[in-house]
């Protein structure tokens, strides 16, 4: 019998190609979700999410089979980075079938500009509570601090439209938002010049540390603004690592979750040679860390 550890990408692709992508996995893994307990903020303290960008190549093969696998590992929340040819309604049906929710999704800035109504309709259908701007191209970053001040104004406008649909807009950082421009730090501009009721932040813990910043300092400077995290670890050489195997001090970060305002945490690894081992280790590590929230 296949287990999470032995279910390889080759087996996954073969099963999906044979039209058995959904059938080959369920006998494989028993669901082990436990009842959610609440922390002092009324949040689900055992909530463990996965950013599906981690599994993007096998999402291309079979979305239903991938979500079945993720659910079986134990995750109960997802953050999407594309639907891979499926409609929002189809995604909702798959989520319901696996006992999963998807409180968040990454949406490119251009899609907000060009397809806002559809973006919001799809988000409501799929059950997203947050929509996150995940990346800025070099052209969008421009030069100096002015592009970020203009972006903050735009985020307020998009955030207001999202709010009317009972959705919260958020912004996800990499390391370039910490580079000083004209004496200011772009991420600080995006935080201070956006309305906290309309725009939240998704702090990517790896990229913050990669930029030489302490996430806890940001939590204390801007309490309550970081509703979402990407929980991603760093190897000693600065490359990506499975959560809990690298050098980032997650215990201290998680212990300050209430200061951050954390609601949803998503395990992620941008590049990994063993996707299943990565998501298993991430689930195990965050399960232990959640006890500090």
Does residue 263 register a pLDDT over 80?
Answer: yes
Nearest-angstrom CA–CA distance, 122 and 205: 28
Mean pLDDT in residue range 33-61 = 71
Q: Are the C-beta atoms of residues 250 and 231 closer than 8 Å to each other?
A: yes
- Of the chain, the percentage scoring pLDDT greater than 90 comes to 83
Query: Beta strands 130-133 and 233-234: pairing type?
Result: unpaired
Mean pLDDT in residue range 46-58 = 94
How do residues 198-248 score in pLDDT, each as one tens digit?
Answer: 999 999 999 999 999 999 999 999 999 999 999 999 999 999 999 999 999
pLDDT for residue 88: 98
CA-based nearest residue to 219, from 261, 190, 180, 187: 261
Mean pLDDT in residue range 176-196 = 98
For residue 11, name the pLDDT band (cuts at 50, 70, 90). low
pLDDT for residue 30: 40
For residue 291, name the pLDDT band (cuts at 50, 70, 90). confident
Does residue 136 register a pLDDT over 70?
Answer: yes
Does residue 61 register a pLDDT over 50?
Answer: yes
pLDDT for residue 101: 98
Q: What is the pTM of this model?
A: 0.88
């Amino acid at each position: 019998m296949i287990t999470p550890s032995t279910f390889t990408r080759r087996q996954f692709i073969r099963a999906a190609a044979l039209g058995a992508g959904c059938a080959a996995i369920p006998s494989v893994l028993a669901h082990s979700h436990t009842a959610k307990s609440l922390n002092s903020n009324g949040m689900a303290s055992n909530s463990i999410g996965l950013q599906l960008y981690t599994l993007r190549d096998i999402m291309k093969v079979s979305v239903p089979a991938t979500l079945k696998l993720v659910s079986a590992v134990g995750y109960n929340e997802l953050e999407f980075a594309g639907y891979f040819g499926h409609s929002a309604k189809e995604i909702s049906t798959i989520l319901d079938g696996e006992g999963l929710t998807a409180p968040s999704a990454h949406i490119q800035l251009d899609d907000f500009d060009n397809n806002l109504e559809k973006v919001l309709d799809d988000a409501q259908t799929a059950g997203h509570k947050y929509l996150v701007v995940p990346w800025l191209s070099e052209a969008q970053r421009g030069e100096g601090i002015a592009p970020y001040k203009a972006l903050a104004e735009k985020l307020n406008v998009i955030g207001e439209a999202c709010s009317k649909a009972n959705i919260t807009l958020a912004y996800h950082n990499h390391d370039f938002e910490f580079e000083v421009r004209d004496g200011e730090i772009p991420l600080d501009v995006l935080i201070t010049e956006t309305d906290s009721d309309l725009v939240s932040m998704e702090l990517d813990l790896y990229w913050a540390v990669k930029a030489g910043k302490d996430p806890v300092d940001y939590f204390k400077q801007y309490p309550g603004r970081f509703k979402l995290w990407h929980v991603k670890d760093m190897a000693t050489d600065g490359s990506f690592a499975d959560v809990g195997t690298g050098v980032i001090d997650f215990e201290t970060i998680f212990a300050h979750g209430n200061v951050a305002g954390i609601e949803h945490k998503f395990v992620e690894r941008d590049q990994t040679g063993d996707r299943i081992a990565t998501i298993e280790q991430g689930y195990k590590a965050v399960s232990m860390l959640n006890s500090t929230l």
